[in-house]
Amino acid sequence: MPRETLDLGYQVECLTVLDDSGGVDDDLVPDVDDDRLLAMHRAMLLSRRFDERMLTLQRQGRIGTFAPVKGQEASQIGAMAALTSEDWFVPSFRETAAAVWRGTPLTALLLYNAGYNEGGAIAEGQHDLPIAIPVGTQIPHATGLGYAAKYRDTGEVAIVFFGDGATSEGDFHEGLNFAAVYTTPTLFLCQNNQWAISVPRDKQTRSRTLAQKALAYGMPGIQVDGNDLLAVYRAVSEAAERARNGEGPTLVECVTYRLSVHTTADDPSRYRSQEEVEEWERRDPIARFQRYLGQRGTLDEDAIGRLEEEIGQQIDQAWEETQEQMQKLDDPLPMFEHVYAEAPAYLEEQRQVYERWLKD
């Protein structure tokens, strides 16, 4: 008849494995051994402490503006740990924890944040794209990487990170649509951290979930407790398996919270309450995972203490090395490098003129 309801068969799952007290749903716990669990825990803790150190360094004027990751460690480590080093990592600008898991040297991250292009160098064979700052613009790149992996039959998947704000950008919609149309092995990992600078999630979009936006493009979308490392790991593992089986992309919405500032240039007290922050601090992803590891008998307080000390030393050493590197980088001429594979004559001339200017 002229007016009928189409049953599209769409539903959005919401996944939690780990509760706030450290208890788990045994049916949903992913099959991960103790060593891997401890590696994930260490990466989260390292990211947190590194983030805190960078905030101190920024406040001291030693490094520049950066976007702290505090509170989002489980979303990032859980996702990256579910993939292999051959898979492609496409970050936005807040993926310090994911970068740490990928093995990006802390010195490189520090150098980048101290304003040196050298910090952005990507090691040979590393399947990472550089940090992308304009919101959401990196999303279609993961679709392209997925297409390339499929074309070359490498078995790799591409994962791209972005936030709730990015879902308003055209690139988000275009990237998802292309991925579905071409059935690419792409994982869209949205960290819904509730705030796009001062604009709250419910003023960003009227959709009840961000995950459901996937359905319009004909791909699965799942909402995950983003402060639950095991839930993120499980959701991304399942999505990666589908992608590797040729079943195409997935949108994973990690519901999490930006516990710190948008960037160090931001003052959140202008737009959100301390009570809200404290409520999310009680759901801190690291404390939650530590409770689980404690109940499991995998990690005790003494071990955490030793780990904290070791991580502190690792960060101290990285900052010392970075300072040494910075002292060797006061030559401005590298700004002429890497604009093209080979510098055109006019550019080489500009470099030479400037070099003579520096000498005189």
Partner 1 sequence: MTQRNMIEALNLALHQEMGRDDSVLALGEDVAVDGGIFRVTEGLLEAYGERRVLDTPVAESGIIGLAVGMAAGGLRPVVELQFSGFSYLALHQLESHAARLRWRSRGRHSATLVARMPYGAGVHALEHHSESKEVYYAHTPGLKIVIPSGPRNARALLASAIRDPDPVVFFESKALYRAFREEVPDEEETFPIGESRVVREGDDLTLIGYGAMLPRCLEAAETLAEQDGVQTEVIDLLSLSPLDDSRFTASVQKTGRAVVVHEAHRSFGPAGEITARLAEKSFYYLEAPIQRVTGFDVIVPYFAREQAYLPDAARITAAARTALSEQ
User: Which H or E element spans position 199?
Assistant: strand 199-200
Q: How far is the CB of 126 from partner 1 (least distance, A)?
A: 19
Distance (Å, rounded) from C-alpha 239 to C-alpha 248? 9
Can residue 271 be called a binding residue for partner 1 (CB under 8 A)?
A: yes
Active site residues: 258, 262, 271
Can residue 103 be called a binding residue for partner 1 (CB under 8 A)?
A: no
Distance (Å, rounded) from C-alpha 58 to C-alpha 52? 10
Tokens 């991304």, residue located:
236
End-to-end CA distance of the chain: 86
Cβ proximity to partner 1, 65 vs 85, nearer residue: 65
Q: How far is the CB of 203 from partner 1 (least distance, A)?
A: 6
Cβ proximity to partner 1, 134 vs 312, nearer residue: 134
Q: Which stretch binds partner 1 (CB under 8 A): 8-16, 58-66, 212-220, 247-255?
A: 58-66
Distance (Å, rounded) from C-alpha 212 to C-alpha 231? 18
Cβ proximity to partner 1, 96 vs 204, nearer residue: 204
Q: How far is the CB of 253 from partner 1 (least distance, A)?
A: 16
Q: How far is the CB of 55 from partner 1 (least distance, A)?
A: 15
Can residue 64 be called a binding residue for partner 1 (CB under 8 A)?
A: yes
Can residue 347 be called a binding residue for partner 1 (CB under 8 A)?
A: yes
Give the Å distances, CA to CA, from 103 to 196, 222, 298, 316.
28, 28, 24, 17
Asked whether 235 and 191 are in contact (CB, 8 A), the reply is no
Provide φ and ψ at 225, rounded to 5°. -70, 105
Distance (Å, rounded) from C-alpha 182 to C-alpha 121? 31
Asked whether 1 and 257 are in contact (CB, 8 A), the reply is no
Q: How far is the CB of 117 from partner 1 (least distance, A)?
A: 5
Asked whether 139 and 175 are in contact (CB, 8 A), the reply is yes
Can residue 274 be called a binding residue for partner 1 (CB under 8 A)?
A: no
Can residue 54 be called a binding residue for partner 1 (CB under 8 A)?
A: no
Cβ proximity to partner 1, 119 vs 221, nearer residue: 119
Distance (Å, rounded) from C-alpha 224 to C-alpha 295? 23
Q: Pick the binder of partner 1 from 16, 126, 137, 183 (CB under 8 A).
A: 137
Can residue 92 be called a binding residue for partner 1 (CB under 8 A)?
A: no
Provide φ and ψ at 252, rounded to 5°. -115, 115
Q: How far is the CB of 346 from partner 1 (least distance, A)?
A: 7
Q: Pick the binder of partner 1 from 202, 265, 300, 355 (CB under 8 A).
A: 265
Give start and end residues of each alpha helix (H) in 158-300.
170-181, 201-204, 213-216, 229-244, 274-281, 285-296
Q: Which stretch binds partner 1 (CB under 8 A): 215-223, 244-252, 260-268, 298-306?
A: 260-268
Can residue 197 be called a binding residue for partner 1 (CB under 8 A)?
A: yes
Q: Which amino acid is at 198?
A: S
**Which residues, in sequence order, are CB contacts of 329 under 8 Å at separation 6+?**
116, 118
Can residue 174 be called a binding residue for partner 1 (CB under 8 A)?
A: no
Q: Catalog residues that contact partner 1 under the rule CB under 8 A.
A: 64-66, 93, 112, 114-117, 119-120, 131, 133-137, 165-166, 168-171, 196-199, 203-205, 263, 265-266, 270-271, 326, 329, 332, 334-336, 339, 346-347, 350-351, 354, 357
